[in-house]
Structure 1
């Protein structure tokens, strides 16, 4: 990695159903076999909320209602494994509409609703950290 490389900004979205379960995707392709919440990279001049809405629509065909910023994660695991350092802004969406569907078949194998206290494994570090922050009611959890 070059010294002038800068972290990128990602957005992760915790979507809850009526039973309090979290929407989780099973990744395929370069990030297989990890599970993760939906999300992606923030585009230039895009709001966090706009990015969350766009990514969830592009990935899962859902329209989320009133996403709220709830946490920030510093994803050093991806910098160690892939040479890409992401800072992720995590949003919570408690309402949604639409028919859940795999929209990016090259990136996602399956969508499922999971108990946030019993996530499927292996779980992508940034996603697990986001859900841990949500469950603890903390905006940021220091890396250990």
Structure 2
């Protein structure tokens, strides 16, 4: 908060892809409690989007990621808890396709799993649900 007024924060989230599946975890935080969301978190001072994506995925899942690339950005306001996030969405793959995700932040997430894009779990975290309903796909077109 600046002068008592809420200010936007920057988040980086990652579409971690494996075949036709994406890695999702069930949130335990108050914002979007019990919804399925992508791994990610706050951008730290001086960090690139790619560095943030790699750090957050490693901190939350233990996975190292590769081929990290920018996809899009969203602007999300959550009036219920007076938060506002500019969210940078990245795409990546696991550096080791045989490595399994671990739940390294059990106070924030109930666990990670792979879900086929055409059969995503419900409920999805609001901003992700809006993207999916709008026809967004994180998969390369070529």
Q: Give me the TM-score of the superposition, normalised by structure 1.
A: 0.81
- Aligned partner of 1:81 in structure 2 is 80
Structure 1 regions of 5+ residues with no counterpart?
Answer: 138-144
1:21 aligned onto 2:24: no
Contact (CA 8 Å) 1:24, 1:112: kept in 2 or not? yes
Structure 1 residues 40-61: Cα deviation after superposition (integer angstroms, max 9, x where no partner): 0100111000000000000000
Consecutive unaligned residues in structure 2, runs of 5 or more: none
Q: Which residue of 2 aligns with 1:45?
A: 46
**Higher strand proportion (structure 1 or 2):** 2
Q: How many residues align?
A: 134
Aligned-CA RMSD value? 2.3
Partner of 1:12: 13
1:35/1:123 contact within 8 Å kept:
yes
| Cα distance, 1:56–1:22 mapped onto 2, change above 3 Å | same
Pick the structure with more helix per residue: 1
1:142 aligned residue: none
Change (3 A) 1:133 1:41: farther
Q: Distance in 2 between matches of 1:25 and 1:93?
A: 16
